[in-house]
Structure 1
Amino acid sequence: MARIPYLDSEDLPEDQRDLLKRPISLHRALTNSPGGARAFQGLGQYIRHGSKLDPRLREMAILQVGWIARSAYEWSHHVKIGMEFGVAETDIRAIMSGDESGLDGLARLVLRAAREVVSGGTSQATHDQLAANFSTEELTDLILTAGFYCAVVRVLASLEIDVEPDYMPYLEKFPLPRA
């Protein structure tokens, strides 16, 4: 059960109802701070729809962050979203097992970068490899993505946001380790 109320459209003034055009639990909780919700959604929308980073690689970075954080909400949502953007079941299983031998070199590099962002920041060697394989804009978008989703998983955990029933099948098919 979430630590703050989930709001619905009718709980919001007319000029803020657009914040719930996607009425997922996270957005319903964040609308308790309309300005915060708008800023949060703005960066999230840029990452999903404006970033120059390859969508499959973007989603793999997000999945890596969700997996490390053991965030059921983030993991379930981005398993679904990732599959819509080209993430294969074999990609997901590689993240789960840690066996990346079947992944292409760029995917392995992106997962390593995401792990390093989670642990405090990319090493010079990883940065240099990213710079050799991505434009500066793509590299920046990758770091923004991993960093933003580090924040997302902390918000989800701190507010105890519930996974919606529609996303539970993704957790059942691709379960997080038991605590």
Structure 2
Amino acid sequence: MALVPYLSESDLAESDRELLERPINLFRGLANSPDGLRHFHVLGQWIRHGCELDPRLRELAILQVGYLTASPYEWSHHVKIGHDFGVTDADIADLVKASNDESHGLGDLETLVLTAAREITADRRVSDETWASLEKALGRARAVDLVIIASFYNAVIRILGTLRIDVEPEYAGYLEQFPLPGTPLA
């Protein structure tokens, strides 16, 4: 059960109602601080619509953060969003295998992106070797984009966990289809 009420548009001032155009529980909970949600939205919107990192790679990185931290909300939402940006069920199954050091069918670039997301999540930094490989494969700007994305979603999972944001029923099936490991890292 969430620590804060889930607000609706009618609970907000007229000037804040656009914050809930997408009324997911995360935004409904953050709407308790409309200005905070407004600023949270700015970076989230850049990641989704302005960032130049390939959207499929972006979603794989976000999924890696969600899987590694065993965040049901983040994982379930980004399984669905990932599908919208070209992530397949086979990619997700391979991400799980890669996360468990098992043989998988992902390419070198996808594997590198997942490695970076895992290092950022578990170690709060990337190794020199990973950084050099990222910079060579993606260029410096896209490598920095990846760092921003993985770091932002590490913050998101902490918000979700701290406020105890519930997974909406329409996303629960993704957790059954792609179960998470038992113990959260964060």
TM-score class, shorter? over 0.9
1:171 pairs with 161, 172, 175, which one? 175
1:121 pairs with 120, 125, 129, which one? 125
AA aligned to 1:76 is S
1:100 CA displacement: 5.2
User: Are 1:101 and 2:91 counterparts?
Assistant: no
User: Are 1:146 and 2:181 counterparts?
Assistant: no
AA aligned to 1:116 is E
Conservation of the 8 A alpha-carbon contact between 2:70 and 2:182? no
Following the alignment from structure 2 to structure 1, what is the Cα–Cα distance between the partners of residues 150 and 83?
18
| Paired positions, count | 179
Following the alignment from structure 1 to structure 2, what is the Cα–Cα distance between the partners of residues 100 and 151?
30
Conservation of the 8 A alpha-carbon contact between 1:72 and 1:171? yes
Once the two structures are superposed, what CA deviation does each residue of 1:99-125 show, in whole Å capped at 9, x if it has no partner?
A: 353111000000000001112101111
Higher mean C-alpha displacement, 118-127 vs 55-64: 118-127
Matched-pair identity in %: 53
Once the two structures are superposed, what CA deviation does each residue of 1:143-162 show, in whole Å capped at 9, x if it has no partner?
A: 10000000000000001000
Matches within 5 A, 1:127-142: 127-142=131-146
Conservation of the 8 A alpha-carbon contact between 2:116 and 2:130? yes
Conservation of the 8 A alpha-carbon contact between 1:66 and 1:153? yes
Q: Unpaired segments of 5 or more residues in structure 1?
A: none
User: Are 1:111 and 2:114 counterparts?
Assistant: yes
Q: Give TM-score scaled by structure 2 length.
A: 0.93
Following the alignment from structure 1 to structure 2, what is the Cα–Cα distance between the partners of residues 173 and 130?
31
Distance 1:100 1:5, change over 3 A: farther
Once the two structures are superposed, what CA deviation does each residue of 1:5-53 show, in whole Å capped at 9, x if it has no partner?
A: 1100000000000100000000000011111101111101100111100
Once the two structures are superposed, what CA deviation does each residue of 1:66-97 show, in whole Å capped at 9, x if it has no partner?
A: 00110000000000000110111111012222
Following the alignment from structure 2 to structure 1, what is the Cα–Cα distance between the partners of residues 95 and 104?
11
Distance 1:8 1:44, change over 3 A: same
Following the alignment from structure 2 to structure 1, what is the Cα–Cα distance between the partners of residues 147 and 91?
20
Q: Unpaired segments of 5 or more residues in structure 2?
A: none
AA aligned to 2:168 is E
Moved over 4 A (4+): none
Conservation of the 8 A alpha-carbon contact between 2:97 and 2:104? no
